[in-house]
């Protein structure tokens, strides 16, 4: 929709660690939990990024301590009006 790429959940939420024979049952449960939670947040982050890139691919101001996301490197620089209009008009 809107030309935003579809993000496939199965590419981010994977349940494979519990199949390892050398981990205990409680460890397998922990692995299921971590696979789901970390996979879900990775999946949600990718959806948010693709939406942000479509609607507003502008970098944030460079504040002390701010950690820029790697994916934002291709975004338009903050305050660069000409580049913004060139990209989104």
Q: Could you list the pLDDT tens digit for every one of the 89 residues in the chain?
A: 678 889 999 999 999 998 899 999 999 999 999 999 999 999 999 999 889 888 888 998 888 998 888 888 889 999 999 999 998 87
Contacts of 85 (CB under 8 A, 6+ apart): none
The reported pLDDT for the residue numbered 69 is: 82
Contacts of 40 (CB under 8 A, 6+ apart): 12, 13
The reported pLDDT for the residue numbered 12 is: 94
SS3 58: strand
């Amino acid at each position: 929709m809107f030309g935003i790429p579809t993000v496939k959940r199965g590419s981010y939420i994977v349940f494979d660690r519990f199949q390892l024979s050398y981990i205990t049952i409680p460890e397998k449960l922990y692995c299921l939990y971590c696979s789901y939670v970390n996979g879900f947040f990775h999946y949600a982050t990718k959806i948010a990024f693709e939406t942000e890139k479509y609607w507003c691919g502008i970098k944030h101001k460079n504040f002390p301590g701010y950690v820029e996301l790697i994916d934002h490197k291709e975004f338009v620089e903050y305050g660069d009006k000409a580049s913004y209009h060139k990209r989104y008009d």
